[in-house]
Amino acid sequence: MNILGIIAFAAFAQSTPQSGYVAPTTCAACHRSIWETYKQTGMGRSFYRATAANAPEIRNQTYHHEASQSYFTTLERGGKFYQRRHQLDAEGREINVFEKQIDYIMGSGNHARTYLHKTPRGTLIELPLGWFAEKGGVWAMNPGYDRVDHDGFRRKVAYECMFCHNGYPKIPAGHEKAFAEPVYLDPLPEGIDCQRCHGPGRKHVQVAGTAGATKEAIRGAIVNPSRLSRERREEICIQCHLETTSFPLPNSLPRYEKGPFDFQPGEPLSASWLFFDHAAAAGRGDKFEIVNAVYRIRKSKCFVESNGALECASCHNPHDVPRGEKATAHYDASCRKCHAARFDRTIASGKHTRESGCADCHMPKRRTEDVVHSLATDHLIQRRKPDANLLAERPERHEIGDKAYRGEVVLYYPDRVSAGADIDLYLAVAQVVDKSNLTGGIPQLTTALQKRPAARAEFHLSLAEAWSNTGRWDKALPSYREAQRRDPKAAFLLGKLGTALRHTGNLGEAASTLQRAVTLAPTDPLAWHELGLNLQAQKKSEDAIKALKKSILLDPDLPEPHSNLALMLLDAGQPALAEASLREAIRIQPDYADAHDNLASLLAGTGDLAQARMHYEAALRVRPNDARTRYNYAMVLGRAQQFEDAQRQLELSLTADGNLLDARLLLGDLLIAKQQPREALSHYREAVRIEPGSARAHLGLGAALAMTGDRAAAIPHLQKAAASTDASARQNATDLLRQLGVVR
């Protein structure tokens, strides 16, 4: 066997048999010079294991994140690297300590490095603290983490992330479906390799290793982008360098019939992906984000007027990236290909300097809107450098809640004709998948599905999720049923259907559906968690507790099963175990407001008012407009004789929800106790409006009116309270009526 044959055999042994891909190092045997320069590019260094050699910055760094009151530390221990988080209690002691091993690094370091942990279940978790190249290297929170309620140590690396940041990994059967959990099998590739742009290399290696093979046959067995049409050639770059936005929209949708890594160079990109953008009326067309190169260049006059002559390869050699003075000379030469004559004229006329560095003025570096610790070249080619300080630091923007985009989503690439006959379905899904346009998208998707009776399960699932996001589980349920009917062996869909059945009160059917889900996917912790919630709703507490414990066994780092288990243990009369479960949920996710709220209530019940106050405050840092939590906090403050603080919390509670009856009544009572009946009147009147049959409301209103001297107005309200079934209100109202001389 010749050397190429040996290489081919080794490559086959390391690749997935059906994939057609070979081990990346195979290419080096025949293309050594290109291989060596490519290894130094950002793509060649995009993903790798964390080692002492390639991660020197990790050792013993500490970063304080003020928003979440957390300290993050990167450290080396026993030759392995870890990222650790802790907080401090009132006495300065470490609490909520949590750490994960750093297994992989995503990012070349040209702009940033993100640290990843691989779980025993094969998922990859993005760790919160990242390293950024600006200013010689700084530590800061990764995009989306610079907030009080970030994802903690649970943000999964989706296939879309892996698609553009690494070579293609192996994934388990069933996990290639849309919406499936992203799971990665070992060994993971390390870096984007030649086959990303040239396609699967097995046939090429095989032909090259065949005696007598001609150069034409060898070359014909691999994709050479230079021999493709301009559109197909550009799409090799577009597959990763076109992102209309990284904020929820969506930027793109995969074709549901394709696997996440099915796209191959030379194929139409639209057969695998469709790209979307904000509607023009939204005024978002000038956004500048970290992966905006293609989006921005396509707005440039140079691109538009070149009629296709200007493409990525006009300036960029993917095999080698020049640096320093070589880079300046290289990119200047690229500009002069089209502008040499004009450049010479403007210099001769004195309108242009003789300095080199065209890109410095016409494509300047700017701070990106989504990765605020990174600078990137703006590919919108402009005649003059903008006057603004493009490098000025900026706070992270969070497009969530009332700040999220809520408008039409439009097709960006390809054009509607090239997108195919089913574009109506995908365009409708784009409206609802990130909740951008639920009002318009739900009827649009409903109509599109009526016209396409053979539509895949994913489209029906999208409609179901859209309805559930509006709180209409009754509307969502038929679509969940239809999605599951079209893909009956998908455990993910069974879990979704089970959740919808629980929310609509179909507990028996939900139980059987979820049992099927855990049978099909016995290692899925979320399915076991949902089964536990359903069993608890059926009052099957013992079985519910077992299901939640199974969920925790499968993934102990999910905070929700711990928190919900605590509530079940509390109902079962085991407060000590319940408290331990709530504290574990908070250790995992310190910004878990529900867990703080429930723990505060438990502690208040035991008389530990100081600890209860601390946890109510923690919950309110995350959810400052939670009216019920503020009411509960006020109750604790009142018990602690801190009446002014209690009144303030009740007022804030009513600012958040003016119809919260309990807060109205308690605030009225507090004002009565402070001898301020006139101030209490408005709250009691509102309480009567909210619940006309409330004996407590009528009692309070009657008492306040009597204290202000309006005996005539007070009596009818006191009589209503005295006639109620509420024994306490009835007795108090009767006593007041006796004092007013109405009864003896």
Residue 30 has pLDDT above 90, yes or no: yes
Give the span between the Cα atoms of 292 and 554, in whole angstroms: 39
598 inside domain: no
58 inside domain: yes
Q: What is the pLDDT of residues 462-475, one digit of tens each?
A: 999 999 999 999 99
Give the span between the Cα atoms of 386 and 383, in whole angstroms: 9
pLDDT grade, residue 14 (50/70/90)?
very low
* Closest of 63, 46, 66 to residue 54, by C-alpha: 46
Residues 161 and 265 in one domain: no
Exposure string of 57-68, with b = 16+ CB inside 10 Å and e = fewer, is: ebeeeebebeeb
423 inside domain: no
Tokens representing residue 728 in the block: 């306490």
- The residues pairing with 409 across neighbouring beta strands, listed in sequence order, are 278
* pLDDT the model gives residue 12: 31
User: Given CA atoms 523, 527, 531, 533 in this order, what sign does their dihedral have?
Assistant: positive
Exposure string of 676-704, with b = 16+ CB inside 10 Å and e = fewer, is: ebeebbebbbbbbeeeeebbbbbbbbbbb
* pLDDT the model gives residue 54: 86
Tokens representing residue 323 in the block: 């640096």
Residues 168 and 254 in one domain: no
CA 281 vs CA 32, 263, 277, 278, 304: distances in Å: 51, 33, 11, 8, 22
Give the span between the Cα atoms of 338 and 310, in whole angstroms: 9
Residue 478 has pLDDT above 90, yes or no: yes
Residues 261 and 347 in one domain: yes
Alpha helices in 606-725 (DSSP H): 609-622, 627-639, 643-656, 661-673, 677-690, 695-707, 711-722
More confident residue, 543 or 52: 543
More confident residue, 238 or 1: 238
Residue 6 has pLDDT above 50, yes or no: no
545 inside domain: no
Alpha helices in 15-158 (DSSP H): 32-38
Q: What average pLDDT does the structure give for the chain?
A: 93
Q: What is the pLDDT of residues 520-542, one digit of tens each?
A: 999 999 999 999 999 999 999 99
SS3 at position 619 = helix
Residues 180 and 245 in one domain: no
Residues 45 and 136 in one domain: yes
Residues 185 and 238 in one domain: no
641 dihedral zone (left: phi>0; alpha: psi -120 to 50; beta)? left
- The residues pairing with 86 across neighbouring beta strands, listed in sequence order, are 71
* Closest of 23, 32, 1 to residue 201, by C-alpha: 23
Burial of residue 119 (number of CB atoms within 10 Å: 0-12, 13-18, 19+): middle
Give yes or no for a contact between 91 and 120, defined as CB atoms under 8 angstroms apart. no
* pLDDT the model gives residue 744: 64
Count of beta carbons in the 10 Å neighbourhood of residue 377: 15
Q: Domain ends where: 387, 403, 419?
A: 403
**C-alpha angle 58-61-64 in degrees, rounded to nearest 5:** 130
185 inside domain: yes
Share of the chain above pLDDT 70, in %: 97
Residues 324 and 269 in one domain: yes
The count of structural domains within the chain is 2
Q: Domain ends where: 193, 217, 248?
A: 193
Give the span between the Cα atoms of 647 and 650, in whole angstroms: 5
* pLDDT the model gives residue 53: 86
613 inside domain: no
Q: Domain ends where: 169, 193, 217?
A: 193
- The residues pairing with 106 across neighbouring beta strands, listed in sequence order, are 47, 114
Whose structure tokens read 């502690």?
603
Residues 160 and 244 in one domain: no
186 inside domain: yes
Give the span between the Cα atoms of 532 and 509, in whole angstroms: 14
Whose structure tokens read 């230079």?
226
Q: What is the pLDDT of residues 380-435, one digit of tens each?
A: 999 888 888 999 999 999 998 889 999 999 999 999 999 999 999 999 999 999 99
* Closest of 116, 106, 63, 104 to residue 86, by C-alpha: 63
HEC assignment per residue over 153-175? CCEECCHHHHHHHCCCCECCCCC
Give the span between the Cα atoms of 245 and 291, in whole angstroms: 8
Residues 182 and 290 in one domain: no
* pLDDT the model gives residue 174: 86
Tokens representing residue 584 in the block: 């574990």
133 inside domain: yes
Residues 75 and 127 in one domain: yes
Whose structure tokens read 């259907």?
497
List the single range of 93-102, 116-125, 338-347, 443-452 with lowest mean pLDDT.
338-347
Q: Say which residues have a Cβ less than 8 Å from residue 329's Cβ, sequence separation at least 6.
A: 322, 356
Question: Which residue range forms the structural domain that includes residue 251?
Answer: 227-403
Q: What is the pLDDT of residues 313-345, one digit of tens each?
A: 999 999 999 999 999 999 999 998 888 887 788
**C-alpha angle 258-259-264 in degrees, rounded to nearest 5:** 80
Residues 176 and 231 in one domain: no
Residues 249 and 181 in one domain: no
Angle, in degrees to the nearest 10, between helices 559-571 and 525-537: 20
Across residues 123-133, what is the average pLDDT? 96
Q: What is the pLDDT of residues 633-662, one digit of tens each?
A: 999 999 999 999 999 999 999 999 999 999
